[in-house]
Amino acid sequence: MLQTTRPRRLRRTPALRRLVRETILTVDDLIYPMFVMEGKNTREEVPSMPGAYRYTLDLLLKEIAEVAALGVNAIALFPAVPPEKKDDLGSESYNPEGLIQQTVRAIKQATPDILVITDVALDPFTTHGHDGLVDQNGIILNDPTIEVLVKMSLSQAAAGTDIVAPSDMMDGRIGAIRLALDEQGYEHVAILAYSAKYASAYYGPFRDALGSAPKSGDKKTYQMDPANSREALKEIYLDIAEGADIVMVKPALAYLDIIAKVKAETDLPVAAYNVSGEYAMIRAAAQMGWIDEKKVILETLTSMKRAGADMILTYFAKEVALILSTVDRS
């Protein structure tokens, strides 16, 4: 048989493969999510996330300096709030002297160039563990929650955050936060909207890290149904109309179709969150000796970028930055 098209021709050598490679993962794509806790000179490994830690501020600053030296541009902060500081209303979330606010100020002093992204949602701060305020019937209240999210965003902006990232999935919060930031002179603070955030079982290890699992009920009345795809676009359009600068799909690995769809619909940068459960699965299989960890990490993150992600939040960020500085790219 006469065969004129032979795709293998371009796979013959490493140089040819590099020449035609469509997707290159770089350290610029990475955002490193980090957990901060109160206290001094301590770090605690998250049991369900081997290799990921809760850091006290002093050690967090050291870790940030290390990843910055490896070329990581951005971190996303999450607070482990002690139970005695939680209440039903999440009031600690907008305390100007709160853990996150102090942490942002300290980072901006120590490493001013690294981008700081702060999460806007109530779950680490509430006794019930929900992202919003809850009424006596267990209903998550939308508009009253937004008032708290606005206060939280303003206090983070005052502390010097670069990007606020609402991860709560209340309706209308992006517009309300944008308006408030602009009114208060924070028009330079960007919004990374968790636009298509699904009610996912992949968040389990993250909730272990922060002790933020909901005490009752689930998050299905505000986070999206994993079975839905067109609804993701509805959420994306709303957030764009309300002033989002970057839109996010979360989780990433089981939602690559959503990332691709969103990318085709918007000219805004698209972020993907390689969440805690995705991280835990790779670590666990690697610990068993069942997979080649480094290769699986790179293949997984490359697939997210190939699907359309312009940036990836990943607990592997430091490791990937190290691998990329030494990698054999054949």
CA angle 132, 275, 165 (to 5 degrees): 45
- Of the ranges 51-59, 115-123, 132-140, 318-326, which one interacts with ligand PBG (CB under 6 A)? 115-123
Token pair 């999440």 is found at 90
Under the criterion CB under 6 A, does residue 81 sit at the interface with ligand PBG? no
Binding-site member from 48, 73, 126, 167 for ligand PBG (CB under 6 A)? 167
Secondary structure of residue 38 in the 3-state scheme:
coil
Coil vs helix vs strand at 1: coil
* DSSP character string of 282-324: HHHHHHTT-S-HHHHHHHHHHHHHHHT-SEEEETTHHHHHHHH
Q: In this chain, which of 55, 107, 118, 119 binds ligand PBG, going by CB under 6 A?
A: 119
Catalytic, 261? Answer: no
* Residue 197 annotated to the active site: yes
Q: Could you tell me which of 26, 180, 195, 39 has the C-alpha nearest to residue 102?
A: 39
Q: In the set 125, 198, 206, 255, which binds ligand PBG (CB under 6 A)?
A: 206
For residue 239, the one-letter residue type is D
Burial letters for 11-34: b for 16+ Cβ neighbours within 10 Å, e otherwise?
Answer: eeeeeeeeeeeeeebebebbbbbb
Q: Is the C-alpha dihedral spanning 163, 168, 174, 180 positive or negative?
A: negative
Provide CB contacts within 8 A for 292, sequence distance 6+: 286
221 near ligand PBG, judged by CB under 6 A = no
Of the residues 203, 222, 255, 316, which one makes contact with ligand PBG according to CB under 6 A? 203
Q: Which of 40, 62, 108, 197 is catalytic?
A: 197
53 binds ligand PBG (CB under 6 A): no
Q: Which stretch binds ligand PBG (CB under 6 A): 99-107, 201-209, 259-267, 320-328?
A: 201-209
Cα dihedral 215, 220, 226, 230, rounded to 10, equals -150
Our finding on whether 235 is near ligand PBG (CB under 6 A) is: no
For the packed helices 99-110 and 142-159, what is the interaxial angle rounded to 10 degrees? Answer: 30
Asked whether 329 and 14 are in contact (CB, 8 A), the reply is: yes
Minimum distance between the CB of residue 20 and ligand PBG, rounded to whole angstroms?
Answer: 34
Stretch of 16-24, 82-90, 153-161, 199-207 contacting ligand PBG, by CB under 6 A: 199-207
Q: Per the structure block, which two tokens stand in for 135?
A: 């009424």
3-state SS assignment for residue 34: strand
Nearest approach, Cβ of residue 256 and ligand PBG (Å): 17
276 near ligand PBG, judged by CB under 6 A? yes
29 lies in the binding site for ligand PBG (CB under 6 A): no
State the minimum distance, in angstroms, from the CB of residue 131 to ligand PBG.
5
Site size toward ligand PBG, by CB under 6 A: 12
Question: Which of residues 35, 60, 98, 123 is near ligand PBG by CB under 6 A?
Answer: 123
Catalytic residue selected from 86, 219, 250, 261: 250
Using rule CB under 6 A, residue 121 touches ligand PBG: yes
Q: From the list 131, 162, 239, 242, which residue makes contact with ligand PBG (rule: CB under 6 A)?
A: 131
Q: Between 110 and 207, name the residue whose CB sits nearer to ligand PBG.
A: 207
Residues involved in catalysis: 197, 250
Residues that bind ligand PBG (CB under 6 A): 119, 121, 123, 131, 167-168, 203, 206-207, 219, 275-276
